Amino acid sequence: MTDVPKFNKSPWVVHFNCNSCNGCDIEFLACLTPLYDLERFGILHVGNPKHADVLVVTGSVNHRNARVLKNVYDQIPEPKVVVAMGVCASTGGIFADGYNVLGGVDKVIPVDVFVPGCPARPEAMIDGVLKGAQILEAKHSGKTPLAEKNVLTRTPTPVATPVAQEKGAPHA
Amino acid sequence: MIIPQTPLMVVLLVVLAPLFGALLCGIDRRITARAQGRIGPPILQAVYDTIKLLRKEPMLLNRVQIVYAYLHLAFMILAMLLLVFGQDSLMFLFVFAFSTLSLVLGGMCVRSPYSRIGSQREIMLMVAYEPILILLMIGFYLVNGHSFMLSAPMTAAKPMLLSLPLLFIGFLVVLAIKMQKSPFDIATSHHAHQEIVKGLTIEYSGPYLAILEIAHFYEMALLFFFIVLFWSSPAWVGIILASLSFFLMTVVDNAFARLTSMWIFKFMWTGALILAVTNVLWLYWASK
Amino acid sequence: MQIQEALIALLVLGPLVFGLLMLTGVKGVLRNALVAVAGVTTIAAGVALPFYSGVIVPDVGLPTLITTLGNWIEPMVILTVLAIGFSIRSWPVRIMALIQLGLCVIGLLMSRHEPLEETKLVVDSLAMIMVLIVSVIGSLIALYAIGYMNGHEHHAPATAASNNRFFFVLISFLGLMNGLVLVDNMKWLSIFWEGTTLCSFFLIGHDGTAEAKASARRAITINVFGGLAMSVGVFLAAHSVGSESLSVLMSKGPVVLLPIALLAIATMTKSAQMPFQSWLLGAMVAPTPVSALLHSSTMVKAGSYLILRMSPGLEGTPLAAVVAIAGAFTFALTSALAIGQSNGKKVLAYSTIANLGLISCCAAIGTPLAYAAGITILIFHAISKALLFLCVGTIEQSIGSRDIEDMGGLLFKMPLTTNIAIVGMISMMMPPFGMLIGKWMAIESAVHFPVVLILLVLGSALTIFFWAKWLGRITTTSYHEKYTIESISPWMRTVLAVIGIGVVVASICALPIYEQVIRPVSLLTFSEQASNINISILDSVSAFLGWPMIIVIGAIIMALATGALLFKPSRLRLPYLCGENVDSDETTYTFRSIADAPSTAMLTSYYLPLFGESRITTWANPLAALIILSLFGVLFI
């Protein structure tokens, strides 16, 4: 420990709901309540990826939101970590076999912490964010390889090809 | 209460003022948390946040943003120095206003809808509170034997608050706006962040956001010092007055919902302005 | 003395001669060269004048011939106005011109047996400041016009008058304006005054469209009204004081209030104070150099100049309070009106009117500080506003719109012009540069007049609004690898660059300009008040401009340097649009909507219907007219 306050003193979280049933989201909001009080760890819930350090994702990734998730991830400044919150975000959960579902968050962006549970408990969520915050420091000091640098000219990952269309789904 | 105009003092102020401001913000967050039955962040949380932001990767939309961020900070420091060294009050106001204006322009110069909406609202707020501040300076002038220097209220024997009670109320409203407190936090909301996703600071990140934060700390220190002017002899009464005012802001913040920008404009240009003008006119009347 | 007289002749007659040469129908390069020579000689003469006249030359001693000449030229000018009254079929103009003619004839008959007075030229500091503004800025705008009018020729309506006539009027105007500034004889003053009115009429009507004609008609009606007020004032002055000299009239002060009130009304029409502001707004249909020259930086300043000249005479009279309130009222209301406008030229026009109001308010307050404030605004406003008008004109010629909302991304499309425009806007609102110093002194000097003060306070808060909106819009841009300098005529580019640099230099040198020029003028004019406490505030201006100025300039340089140095393209990201960005840097308001279809966000600035033109003017104009009418009311107190 040096005297410089670490990233883990103030991890700011942006929350992205991919495809969630809202179970995890409700639990995550419960973390803000006086009972759990996220803020006592210096964690702030921000609305904007550009101010965030930790991207908390709930729900599985599908073809439509993969691009959005990628964009949001790209707009978080380095160092950043991704916390996959709940079993859907981790693996796709019970939706994994859906025709439109790609799977867990790690199919699109690199994930640092998986928090299992359906829904995950608030304690587990806070723990997950704080685990992520430890990784932030490591990433900053270069101990773990940084996520690939993103530049403006980067084209979005071609995951958005609508599989549904190929299968002739009615909404296409 | 006269502060010597020495280089050492300048260095001390420039170094200590943001720490003081950060402390005020930390205390504010702690009190809010306690009021809501939470434990709340450490008192130095604002410092931790700023240091973290400084270590993050800078991200930008264009060059102009950087220029405005630095101008915002530089003019804020200059405004603080002008105030503390008791310089001309109107010039202090203009410098202070230009600092906020740089922030607004920084928010406007990017092609981002949220940022621009936040900036527009901030301009509305500026136009809303600027007359009150100028009238407050006029009030100082009339009370302090026709001197525009801010050193006059610092050395005045009779506390300003007793001569300018209505202007002080007007100033408290301005304080709520400057501290981004409900019901006046429409430009960059601290609480319901998602409303306009942090308004005009949205496209600033990492170190540039830290610059804005530091400027905000200076602003807090400046406002605190400004309230002390209302009761500068003895200064400890002024400090208590300022602390109470800041506490009041925290309470108000937690007790009120947000207004719309047009509502604020109308409120300031009617209610608050009438208070301020009444106070100024009665000073004219008293001086005749 | 010889050099001085030659210089004055060059300043007044030179432009008239060059203007007449235009009428010979020269074309192309030759015409450009002639305009350029006219401009450069006027600039040279204007710059040289202060060196050859010392601080004050009360009398250059011209023979009575000039007075005699004035007696014959005045009816000719009035007849020209009358002829215009007939050609545009305007009864008000005809009637007013006839009254003026009558006064002129009566005046001539009555003075037949009196010895002719010598016509004096006053070359004091205020006059030299004004001559510098007219000859330097005016000539630069004429040079700009060379480039602009060549482009204008291509898309001007078929009804437009010839460019030769345009340059004839534009250049002659410089001479008339210099004459107006230097002359002390009120008969000549009103000749030059009417002359500038005629210039304005011809130039506004240049394009010959229905709109241009209507605007020109309105301009001449209102200005001839001002001219009439002046003629009556001069007539009354000549027969109550027995002299046509302005300085004599002013030295009599409180004894001759009616002529002074009439002259004050004349200044209000010329500087487009409420309720006379409509002609200046209409004048914006004219080609840009005209707006820049006549309607922002020089001609409208004739009104401000005259009221500043009258300032010592107004002081202590009951008229002063009324003029001050009228000026402050105009300042507050036109600042409010500017908020509701998205037309760039209209915003500039309203802001001009507001500043002119501020000047006449300062002149009427009549303390050394107020006078210094008036001169400061006069100088810095002329430079900055001329620049801004030229920039808007250049932008308009390129993008085909003068709407502020269309000016996003200009920093990329027209980097040179836009950067210069930004400099101009910053100079209008950044402390501690020229304009803000002026406003600062104005508020401080108004502090003993509560009504004036509150109007100034409200107005100055409102000015932030429209400048911030505009500056924010014009600096909006996305990142681009390369900036290509726009292709505009070299005349225009050079002039923009020169005035742009001039604005920067003037801003940085605000302290020396204040110390060396403005403060002495003000102290000299109000020498009897020299022991007054207001002087101490004059000193505090100097005190302020010390270290804070250094910090500010340092901060700006630092900020610009960090902007240039710390910036790396790898740090660029798209703006936050909830992750739905369409991946392209030009269309960042575009986001993916339903079924991934690109959809564009629409976003404009606040224009607050509360400050709409029709909404405010309906009650503000009658109120302003009442304030002005009360000028006559106070005569009986």
Each domain of chain C, given as residue ranges in start order, spans 1-224+290-311, 315-572
Average pLDDT rounded to a whole number, residues B92-119: 89
Structure tokens given for C191: 């000749």
- CB proximity B158 to A under 8 Å: no
The predicted-structure confidence for C375-428, as pLDDT tens digits, reads as follows 999 999 999 999 999 999 889 888 888 888 888 878 888 888 999 999 999 988
Share of chain C above pLDDT 70, in %: 92
How confident is the model at residue B228, as a pLDDT? 92
Contact C62, C121 (CB under 8 A): yes
- Subunits in contact with chain C (3 or more CB pairs closer than 8 Å): A, B
- Cβ–Cβ below 8 Å for C569 and A152: yes
CB atoms < 10 A from the CB of B35, how many? 14
Enumerate the domain spans of chain A: 7-166
pLDDT tens digits for range C9-25: 888 888 888 888 888 87
Tell me: pLDDT of B190 over 60. no
For the purposes of burial, counting CB atoms within 10 Å of the CB of C637, is it exposed (0-12), middle (13-18) or buried (19 or more)?
A: exposed
Give the one of C569, C570, C579 whose C-beta lies nearest to A68's C-beta. Answer: C579
Residue C427: closest CA among C372, C371, C351, C338: C351
| Chain B residue whose CA is closest to C464 | B127
Where are the alpha helices (H) located in C366-475, listed in sequence order? 368-399, 410-413, 415-429, 434-445, 450-475
Q: Which residues of B touch A47 (CB under 8 A)?
A: 193-194, 197-198
Tell me which residue in C429, C558, C576 faces B112 most closely, judged by beta carbons.
C576
Question: What is the pLDDT, as a whole number, of residue C472?
Answer: 87
Parallel/antiparallel/unpaired status of strands A101-103 and A61-62: antiparallel
- pLDDT of res. B195: 60
CA distance B27 to chain A (A): 13
Average pLDDT in chain C: 84
Instruction: Identify the pLDDT of residue C57.
Output: 47
pLDDT at C61: 54
Inter-chain touch B58–A51, beta carbons under 8 Å: no
Residues B98-107, mean pLDDT to the nearest whole number = 92
pLDDT confidence band for C218 (50 / 70 / 90): very high
The nearest CA of chain B is from the CA of C488 a distance in Å of 24
Highest mean pLDDT among B259-268, C47-56, C109-118: B259-268
What's the pLDDT at C28? Answer: 78
Closest by Cβ to C563, choosing from B66, B202, B203: B66
Asked if the model's pLDDT at residue A170 lies above 50, the reply is no
Q: Above 70 in pLDDT, residue C58?
A: no
Residues 6+ apart with CB under 8 A from C44: none
Residue among B127, B132, B167 with most chain C CBs within 10 A, to mutate = B127
- pLDDT at position B117 is 85
Beta strands in A34-168 (DSSP E): 44-46, 54-58, 61-62, 81-85, 101-103, 113-115
pLDDT tier at C294, thresholds 50, 70, 90: confident
Contact residues on chain B for C449, CB-CB shorter than 8 A: none
pLDDT-derived band of residue C115, with 50, 70 and 90 as boundaries?
Answer: low
Average pLDDT, chain B: 87
pLDDT confidence of residue C243: 77
What's residue C197's pLDDT? 92
The tens digit of pLDDT for each residue in C337-365 reads 999 888 888 999 999 999 999 999 999 98
Quickly list DSSP for C413-443: HSHHHHHHHHHHHHHHH-TTSHHHHHHHHHH
Q: Which CATH number fits domain A7-166: 3.40.50.720, 2.60.40.1730, 3.90.850.10, 3.40.50.12280?
A: 3.40.50.12280
Residue B133 has pLDDT above 90, yes or no: yes
Q: Are C587 and C602 in contact (CB under 8 A)?
A: no
Residue of B38, B44, B60, B189 to mutate when probing chain A, most A C-beta within 10 A: B38
- Report in angstroms the alpha-carbon separations of A93 from A106, A107, A147, C518: 13, 13, 25, 78
Mean per-residue pLDDT, C198-214:
90
Question: Please, what is the angle between helix C186-204 and helix C257-270, to 10°?
Answer: 20
Q: Do C570 and A72 touch (CB under 8 A)?
A: no
> What's the rounded Cα separation, in Å, for the pair A11 and A27?
19
Question: What is the C-alpha separation between C437 and C446, in angstroms, rounded?
Answer: 14
Average pLDDT estimate for C116-139: 84
Indicate the range of B271-275, C199-203, C359-363, C445-449 predicted with least confidence. Answer: C445-449
Q: How many CB pairs under 8 A join A and B?
A: 75
Average pLDDT value for residue range C213-240: 90
pLDDT, residue C268, reads 93
Question: Any chain A CB within 8 A of the CB of B37?
Answer: yes
Q: What is the pLDDT of residues C240-278, one digit of tens each?
A: 877 778 888 887 766 778 888 999 999 999 999 988 999
Q: Which amino acid is at C440?
A: W
* CB-CB under 8 Å, A4 with B198: no
Average pLDDT over residues A17-22: 88
Rounded to the nearest angstrom, the minimum Cα separation between A48 and chain B is 6
pLDDT at residue C483 greater than cutoff 70: yes
Name the neighbours of B, counting chains with at least 3 Cβ pairs within 8 A.
A, C
What integer pLDDT is reported at residue B192 of this predicted model? Answer: 46
Residue A161 has pLDDT above 50, yes or no: no
Q: Lowest-pLDDT range, B204-208, B210-214, C586-590?
A: C586-590
Residues of B with Cβ-Cβ distance to A44 under 8 angstroms: 49
- Cα separation of B55 and B210, whole Å? 9
Residue (of C119, C102, C109) closest to C232 by Cα position: C102
Q: What is the pLDDT of residue A3?
A: 55
Q: If pLDDT is split at 50, 70 and 90, which confidence band does C185 have?
A: confident
Rounded to a whole number of angstroms, the distance between the first and last alpha carbons of chain C is 46
pLDDT at A171 over 50: no
What is the distance between the alpha carbons of residues C521 and B201, in angstroms, rounded to a whole number?
46
pLDDT digits (tens, 9 = 90+) for C499-512: 999 999 988 888 78
In chain B, residues 68-97 whose CB comes closer than 8 Å to chain C? 68, 70-71, 74-75, 78, 81-82, 87-88, 90-91, 94-95, 97
- Looking at residue B245, its pLDDT comes to 94
Q: What percent of chain B has pLDDT over 90?
A: 41
Average pLDDT over residues C105-119: 71
Q: Which of A75-84, B178-187, C528-537 has the highest mean pLDDT?
A: A75-84
Contacts of C573 in chain A (CB under 8 A): 50, 74-75, 152
- Measured between alpha carbons, how far is A95 from A103 in angstroms, rounded to an integer? 8
